[in-house]
């Protein structure tokens, strides 16, 4: 995985061998995408659509250049975490001067092989060429995600689907949706319609209001699942709950609705889960969210409980954790959740390097798994530079190098690396309010983070020059897709 890797692939594969004779496959006519099983049809359709978008003619007939997708197993259901799993995402891609073969035990692996193939395509006048290689590839971590904040400023369904498409390009497999916070509520709950009729209409200052109907949420879940991306909903409690209390005034606020909140301060709200009415409301909410979500996880937040007394916070965490398991799901919580988590199945998502490090290490020793989301490397709402027009800087400026030059297994001192479940980047919307801004903050940094999550751990510390040339090679593809991205001065991009 050095700077001289010969192909413009991100993430870099596990093993690449140049085939002999070393003649490129030249595509100067129609391509037939051939499958050996019905389960391979989805990745075949994905590859066909992508080739057509490149003006590569495809045909269902077995003529012209053949790309064969071979599925080697009939058992490719998601694992207990709801993701395909490392073995299922493993694939082999072989390119000769006569054709292409992609082999995997699951449709997810075939799709990853297809995305790799698409990155290998070289434009050559009116034709395309593919170098003769055999790639054997598998992910380092089975969980590779993006936490996407809809609460501060809303993104409609069409834009969320586009984010899914970006994730697929880079071999991510989880989209974690932050659906509520102090500024707004973004998922229709039929048992409490006020959550969206009232707090679906609010947003951070300058942001977009709105919400997903249950039909739209189901459509998103299905769209993502077709692309082997798991949707994980987050209902953030007991803090970050002003929008809930604005819509449903409970004992916490004297049963008088507070004014909507449009600022960016945090840690001032609390849902009092020692109040039976509040616990009943939360039960209704989580039950509906669970019914809408086929995946096994509900994220229940738990971060920044600044105004909540320590003992009450611990009991609140225990109460919401029990509720999640009682309705048949498993819980994920942010750093602070470790203070009250009772069940070792509960996953802790590390984000803040200043809190709970020792507790996190001890929790991992007890059996808790950890998702790595260190803010100083993967919070993609942080500005690239001090003069960047979008985002904030409270976790520091995060340039492309900062998103790449870190190692998950050593990020938290003494943490058992075997307990790391995977990596999630995150983007928060306090200062990001348009589709263009979202994509520019995600790209290009989401690509080097994908390599940290997918590719084998390098023998030496990662340096930007190991990825910069391959990163620059993605620009043409992103531009073709209409995806805005930031032309960081740390990367030598092709001329516009």
Give 316-365 as a DSSP string.
HHHHHHHHHHHTT-EEEEEGGGGGT---TTSEEEE--TTSSHHHHHHHHH
Distance between terminal CA atoms of the chain?
28
Phi then psi dihedrals of residue 76, to 5 deg = -135, 30
Separation of alpha carbons 278 and 238, rounded Å:
10
List the catalytic residues.
Answer: 304
Quick one: which of 155, 157, 163, 162 has its CA closest to 184? Answer: 155
Quick one: which of 422, 307, 419 has its CA closest to 373? Answer: 422
Structure tokens at 209: 């209001």
Separation of alpha carbons 221 and 214, rounded Å:
10
User: Which CATH number, 3.20.20.80, 3.40.50.10800, 3.30.70.260, 3.90.1150.10, labels domain 143-481?
Assistant: 3.20.20.80
Please list the residue range(s) of the chain that carry CATH number 3.20.20.80.
143-481
Total-model pTM: 0.97
Handedness of CA 309, 311, 316, 321 (dihedral sign): positive
pLDDT tens, residue order, the chain (496 aa): 344 578 999 999 999 999 887 799 999 888 999 999 999 999 999 999 999 999 988 887 667 789 999 999 999 999 999 999 999 999 999 999 999 999 999 999 999 999 999 999 999 888 999 999 999 999 999 999 999 999 999 999 999 999 999 999 999 999 999 999 999 999 999 999 999 999 999 999 999 999 999 999 999 999 999 999 999 999 999 999 999 999 998 867 778 889 999 999 999 999 999 999 999 999 999 999 999 999 999 999 999 999 999 999 999 999 999 999 999 999 999 999 999 999 999 999 999 988 899 999 999 999 999 999 999 999 999 999 999 999 999 999 999 999 999 999 999 999 999 999 999 999 999 999 999 999 999 999 999 999 999 999 999 999 999 999 999 999 999 999 999 999 999 999 999 8
Parallel, antiparallel, or unpaired: how do β-strands 133-137 and 91-95 relate?
antiparallel
The CATH T-level fold of domain 15-137 is: Chitobiase; domain 2 (3.30.379)
Burial zone of 55 (CB within 10 Å; 0-12 exposed, 13-18 middle, 19+ buried): exposed
CA distances from 463 to 15, 303, 408, 467 (A): 20, 32, 15, 8
Please list the residue range(s) of the chain that carry CATH number 3.30.379.10.
15-137
Three-state secondary structure call for residue 309: coil
Handedness of CA 484, 473, 145, 354 (dihedral sign): negative
Q: How many CA atoms lie within 13 A of 333 on its CB side?
A: 34
């Amino acid at each position: 995985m050095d700077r001289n890797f010969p192909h413009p692939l991100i993430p870099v594969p596990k093993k690449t061998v140049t085939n002999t004779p070393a003649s490129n496959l030249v595509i100067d006519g129609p391509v037939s995408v051939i499958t050996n099983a019905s389960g391979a049809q989805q990745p075949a359709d994905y590859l066909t659509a992508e080739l057509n978008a490149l003006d590569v003619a495809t045909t269902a007939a077995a003529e012209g250049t053949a790309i064969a997708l071979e599925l080697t197993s009939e058992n490719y259901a998601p694992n207990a975490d709801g993701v395909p799993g490392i073995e299922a995402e493993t694939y082999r891609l072989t390119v000769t001067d006569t054709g292409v073969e992609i082999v995997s035990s699951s449709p997810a692996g075939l799709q990853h092989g297809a995305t790799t193939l698409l990155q290998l395509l070289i434009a050559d006048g009116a034709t395309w060429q593919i170098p003769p290689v055999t790639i054997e590839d598998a992910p380092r971590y089975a969980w590779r995600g993006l936490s996407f904040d809809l609460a501060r400023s809303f993104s409609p369904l069409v834009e969320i689907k586009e984010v899914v498409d970006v994730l697929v390009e880079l071999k991510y497999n989880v989209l974690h949706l932050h659906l509520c916070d102090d500024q707004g509520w973004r998922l229709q709950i039929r048992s409490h319609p006020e959550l969206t009729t009232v707090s679906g209409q609010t947003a951070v200052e300058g942001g977009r209001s709105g919400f997903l109907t249950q039909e739209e949420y189901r459509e998103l879940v299905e769209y993502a699942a077709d692309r082997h991306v798991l949707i994980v909903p987050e209902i953030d409690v007991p803090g970050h709950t002003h929008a809930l209390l604005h819509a449903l005034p409970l004992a916490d606020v004297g049963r008088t609705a507070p004014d909507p909140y449009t600022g960016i301060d945090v840690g001032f709200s609390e849902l009092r889960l020692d109040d039976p009415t509040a616990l009943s409301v939360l039960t209704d909410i989580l039950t509906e969210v669970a019914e809408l979500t086929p995946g096994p996880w509900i994220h229940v937040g738990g971060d920044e409980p600044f105004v909540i007394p320590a003992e009450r916070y611990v009991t609140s965490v225990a109460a919401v954790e029990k509720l999640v398991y009682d309705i048949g799901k498993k819980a994920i919580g942010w750093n602070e959740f470790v203070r009250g988590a009772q069940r070792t199945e509960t996953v802790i998502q590390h984000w803040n390097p200043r809190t709970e490090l020792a507790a996190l290490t001890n929790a991992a020793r007890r059996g808790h798994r950890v998702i790595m989301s260190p803010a100083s490397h993967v919070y993609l709402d942080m500005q690239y530079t001090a003069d960047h027009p979008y985002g904030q800087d409270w976790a520091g400026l995060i340039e492309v190098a900062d998103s790449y030059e870190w190692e998950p297994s050593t990020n938290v001192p003494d943490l058992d690396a075997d307990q790391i479940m995977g990596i999630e980047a995150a983007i928060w919307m306090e200062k990001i309010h348009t589709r263009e801004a979202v994509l520019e903050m995600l790209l290009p940094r989401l690509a080097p983070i994908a390599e940290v999550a997918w590719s084998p751990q390098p023998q030496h510390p990662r340096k930007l020059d190991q990825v910069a040339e391959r990163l620059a090679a993605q620009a043409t593809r992103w531009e073709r897709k209409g995806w805005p991205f930031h032309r960081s001065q740390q990367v030598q991009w092709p001329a516009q």
